[in-house]
Amino acid sequence: METIVVTGGAGFIGSNFVRHALARTEARVVVLDKLTYAGNLESLADVAKHPRYAFVEADIADREAVRALFREHRPAAVVNFAAETHVDRSIDDPASFVRTNVTGAFELLEAARLFLREEPDAAAGFRFLHVSTDEVYGTLGATGAFSETTPYAPNSPYAASKAGADHLVRAYHETYRLPVLLTNCSNNYGPFQFPEKLIPLMILNAVEGRSLPIYGDGGNVRDWLYVEDHCEGILLVLRKGALGGKYNVGGGNERTNLQVVDALCKALDAELPAAKSPALAARGLSSYAGLKTFVADRPGHDRRYAIDASKIRAELGWSPRHAFEDGLRETVRWYLAHRAWCEAVQSGSYRRERLGLSG
């Protein structure tokens, strides 16, 4: 039985991928996660007793722990989701982003290189897939989209740290012929996302009758991708992507932040009518939209992202299954049904005052 190591598998996209891989493959899935504030075993509770699942608590920047994992589990593939991802946090504490996103990626690549050198029999079919972001490309004007050949121009410490990791991945293929793959995705949304990011933050704040903070004029544009669609794309790239190849994965759902918040208010009202909300009534409001509040923009806030996903569509036949409104409706329903999960992951090191910051 082949083994897939999923780093950062207790986080948002990682935990969704773990469930996807267990359902769609016969592989054993070993999760490596440091369990920081955004990585929580609550996100994997439903697969904890699965016979093909195992968990290892460790930091990808811990050289000995990572190399020991390779020796013990002899993976046929590694999918690296492990990363610090919140732009606001990278502005406050860039050092932790460099450690995890750059040094951590280096340690994983080195461990893979040494593993294949020392055990050449394991090299047949081995693949190392690094999951990155469209933020490495910088910002766009009113038109155009990021392709796989768009020059890198990161504008935040987070984006710069992910760009550094991307360059290391490419270099390890060119220098050592390590069988790597690289994906750059647009903004994900869906179940199990830590509630500091825009969509879950707005859902939970609205239900509690709290303000819905929107940066600047709300005109920043993102391309939204439902997390299950992203996981399908990642598994397809892992199985069929050209080694050394790079694939942009986007939903084709460009929306301004203001449009996203308005759509969320509408979807929430359909599931939990604002007219019946005691939290809104206490503030003298009759609609979720009345909670919208415009706040000062954050430094270096990219104006627009858009993904050209034509390569993965043409070469591998992938396309997203969820229209934005459909995925948003499913997301709202999930968060309303999983308030206990939200409360659990917000405990510990997470500070409630951070709910004033959108992702």
Q: Is 76 exposed, middle or buried (0-12, 13-18, 19+ CB in 10 A)?
A: middle
Distance CA 320, CA 251 (A): 6
DSSP track, 159-191: HHHHHHHHHHHHHHHHHH---EEEEEE-EEEST
Distance CA 169, CA 179 (A): 10
- Tell me, yes or no, if 135 is annotated catalytic: yes
Residue 91 CB: number of other CB atoms within 10 A? Answer: 15
User: Of 37, 53, 137, 158, which is the active-site residue?
Assistant: 158
CA angle 41, 44, 46 (to 5 degrees): 130
- Tell me, yes or no, if 134 is annotated catalytic: yes
- 152's CB contacts (< 8 A; 6+ apart) are 136, 137, 138, 163, 166, 167
Using the structure block, give the residue that is written with the tokens 């996100």.
Answer: 43
Q: How many Cα atoms occupy the beta-carbon half-sphere of 140 within 13 Å? A: 21
To which H or E segment does residue 131 belong?
strand 127-133
- Tell me, yes or no, if 93 is annotated catalytic: no
User: Of 107, 134, 166, 269, which is the active-site residue?
Assistant: 134
Structure tokens given for 34: 């440091």
Pairing of strands 246-249, 180-185: parallel
User: Of 84, 135, 232, 269, which is the active-site residue?
Assistant: 135
DSSP track, 293-311: EEEPPPTT---B--B--HH
Of the candidates 153, 142, 314, 327, the one whose C-alpha atom is nearest the C-alpha of residue 229 is 327
- Active-site positions read 134-135, 158
